[in-house]
Amino acid sequence: MFAKILVPLDGSEHSLKGLDYAITLAKKFSSVVHIVHIVHIVQAVSAATYDTAFMMRGLYTRASDMAGPSFMIDLKNHLEENGRRILATTEAKTREAGIKAVTTLLYGSPAEEIINFAEKEEMDLIVIGDRGLGSVTRFFLGSVSNKVSRHAPCPVLIVKT
């Protein structure tokens, strides 16, 4: 019934709760879990999610420094590194649970990338947390889970926490 389950992760408690549900379903249906993390630089900059981290590490000391190309390269590298860390951690979690998992790092708008991936890979189910990392981002860009549930090519299970 659910041979291929897609789980988008952003590292938040809500997305990890979605992974727990997906693991339970995968055990029941002998499913393969596809875990994706989306690197979305525009979202990070617009919500000022990572600016503080860079300033605290001493890489950038003035706001004007964060407008240049080197900031964008550093930000992209930071987001990719964070995404790989999230995927590695969750891959280990699924392996410990005896579940086959495939991890993918994607780039772009989270909702669009999730929908496109689900369509391209012919997913049977998407399991997603009801909230992600930032309330500011959600205010300006809308809820990813809401967009995915309205436009996905397959059923969507939104895990509330």
Residue-wise pLDDT for 72-100, tens only, equals: 677 788 889 999 999 999 999 999 999 99
Q: Is the pLDDT at 46 greater than 80, yes or no?
A: no
The model's pTM is 0.79
Looking from the CA of 140 toward its CB, the CA atoms found within 13 Å total: 10
Pair of tokens at residue 68: 């240049």
Question: CATH number for the 4-159 domain, one of 3.40.190.290, 3.40.1390.30, 3.40.50.620, 3.40.50.2020?
Answer: 3.40.50.620
Angle at 133 between CA 129 and CA 2, to 5 degrees: 20
Partner residues linked to 38 by β-bridges: 106
Where are the chain's structural domains? Answer: 4-159
Query: What pLDDT shows up at residue 67?
Result: 56
- Amino acid (one-letter) located at 150: R
Please provide residue 16's backbone torsions phi and psi, each rounded to the nearest 5 degrees. -70, -30
What is the phi-psi region of residue 11: left when phi exceeds 0, alpha when psi lies from -120 to 50, beta otherwise? left
